[in-house]
Amino acid sequence: MRIALGVTGCIAAYKAVEVMRGLQKRGATVQVVMSSHATQFVGELTFRSISGLPVITDMWAPTDDPEIKHIQIAQSIDLLLVAPATANCLAKFANGIADDFLSTLYISTTAPVLVAPAMNSEMWLHPATQENVRRLRERGVQFIDPGEGYLACRTVGPGRLAEPDEIVLRASEVLERRQTRVGASGHSFDLIEEHVLITAGPTYEALDPVRGLTNRSSGRMGYALAEASLARGARTTLVSGPVSLDPPSGARVAQVQSAAEMYDAVMNNLQDATIAIMAAAVADYRPAKIAGQKMKKSGERLAIELEPTADILSAVAGKKGSRVVIGFAAETEDVVDNALKKLNDKGADIIVANDVAAANSGFDVSTNQVTLVSTDRVDELPLLSKRAVADRILDAALEVRASRAPATTSPR
């Protein structure tokens, strides 16, 4: 495996050293390409000493090699990884500006490109940056989104570089898919005849005009499923609760708020869906009455009557026919036992169970560790990125399809 590691100029550049070491431990040869600004934060000697290769910092550096260096590297690498990637770097990539070695390498290579942004919160959230991210996603660039935390500018917010272990994990998964792929998606468009219906995110149940009941779901797992489904050729419908994520380009999206709205949207799109994956964290209860005006604080205890919401997974499984139905179970104890009970109670084909109290798993993180529970097997997966988990879930859906006789892709 040969990886070009692009390092751009921000304080997080020092973490690229850990990323490089992690990639080397997985057997990769790492060619480091630094922007001129990156050298102000980390010296090239550090990378050269660890990688064992010359570090490229200058497009016009004299060399005895007769090859055109950026073309040579562009054609030989299996992955271009940029970590950290600044707002300036993203702007160059998105607009085709090739004025240094890294941006020229990007525009020259046909290898997968994986980018881990890092910057101030305002820079990350600026419309120009978000538009550049959208453009790059549409062109197939993959992102390891920044996390939230304490930043170098002494503020707290989104923009913090993802942890080196996470970056190494994602890079390894991209390489694995590249090495085993048959078609562009790594799974040969094996869902091209499917219509995959996915729910994602939380629901919001209003108490009054300003307050409501919700949960911590970020929607990342459901959105990763939609991204993977599209990459494998499926027509994809995403029913999303309120999240701060951009849906993948090409998905048909229904934005909803409450569990009732999600139920209606799912049922309206269920008829020709061949695979239904209910990944949303839907509220089990809602206020029996919604106050017309803001409830004032009185200093006394307040009792709120709740009523159950419609069970979307049970409703979908009740209309299963030949379609594959997959549900999720977010648990904090007895994960497999509770998932088995849910599997039997709801009538789904598979329950994806995870311990949301475990580190790096569950809500609002980019990784997940799940167990796929069906009537005849329990498959415990290792800690993976949510995109990799999404592909495993889709693989499991196709296994269910293949186990049925006769096989069919059309729901009855």
| DSSP for 63-113, written as a single string | -S--S-HHHHHHHH-SEEEEEEE-HHHHHHHHHT---SHHHHHHHH--S-E
Q: Among the residues of 96-207, which ranges form H helices?
A: 101-108, 121-125, 127-138, 164-180
Rounded to 5°, the CA angle 201-203-206 comes to 155
Which class for 232: exposed (0-12), middle (13-18), buried (19 or more C-beta within 10 A)?
buried
- The length of the chain is 412
- pLDDT of 412 reads 45
Q: Determine the 3-state secondary structure of 179 from DSSP.
A: helix
Any idea what DSSP says for residue 259? H
- pLDDT of 190 reads 83
- pLDDT of 63 reads 58
Residues 108 and 70 sit within 8 Å (Cβ to Cβ): yes
Separation CA 239–CA 206 (nearest Å): 19
Residues 71 and 105 sit within 8 Å (Cβ to Cβ): no
Residues 331 and 339 sit within 8 Å (Cβ to Cβ): yes
> 82: closest CA among 54, 101, 60, 62?
101
- pLDDT of 219 reads 94
Rounded to 5 degrees, φ, ψ at 283 are -60, 135
Any idea what DSSP says for residue 27? T
Q: Determine the 3-state secondary structure of 213 from DSSP.
A: strand
* Lookup: tokens for 392: 């495993």
- pLDDT of 80 reads 95
Which one is catalytic: 153, 213, 253, 365?
Answer: 153
- pLDDT of 188 reads 56
- The CATH code that applies to domain 195-287+301-403 is 3.40.50.10300
* Lookup: tokens for 53: 């290769």
Any idea what DSSP says for residue 8? -
- pLDDT of 358 reads 81
Rounded to 5°, the CA angle 334-324-371 comes to 25
Which residues are 199's β-sheet partners? 239, 278
* Lookup: tokens for 226: 């939609």
Task: Report if pTM > 0.95.
Answer: no
Q: Which residues in the chain land under pLDDT 70? A: 60-70, 149-156, 177-188, 405-412
- Helix or strand run (H / E) with residue 159: strand 156-160
Q: What is the pLDDT of residues 9-63, one digit of tens each?
A: 999 999 999 999 999 998 899 999 999 999 999 998 999 998 888 999 887 666 5
Tokens 């070695």 belong to: 101
Tokens 């910057």 belong to: 119
Separation CA 351–CA 215 (nearest Å): 20
Pairing of strands 275-278, 195-200: parallel
Residue range(s) occupied by CATH 3.40.50.10300 in the chain: 195-287+301-403
Residue range(s) occupied by CATH 3.40.50.1950 in the chain: 2-180
Whether 89 is catalytic is: no
Separation CA 255–CA 246 (nearest Å): 11
User: Could you tell me the CA-to-CA distances from 23 to 80, 143, 171, 333 in Å, in that order?
Assistant: 13, 17, 8, 34
- pLDDT of 183 reads 40
Count of C-beta atoms within a 10 Å radius of residue 211: 12
Per-residue HEC secondary structure of 292-323 comes to CCCCCCCCCCCCCCEEECCCHHHHHHHCCCCC
Number of helices (H) and strands (E) in the chain: give both, helices first: 13, 21
- pLDDT of 68 reads 55
CATH superfamily of 2-180: Flavin prenyltransferase-like (3.40.50.1950)
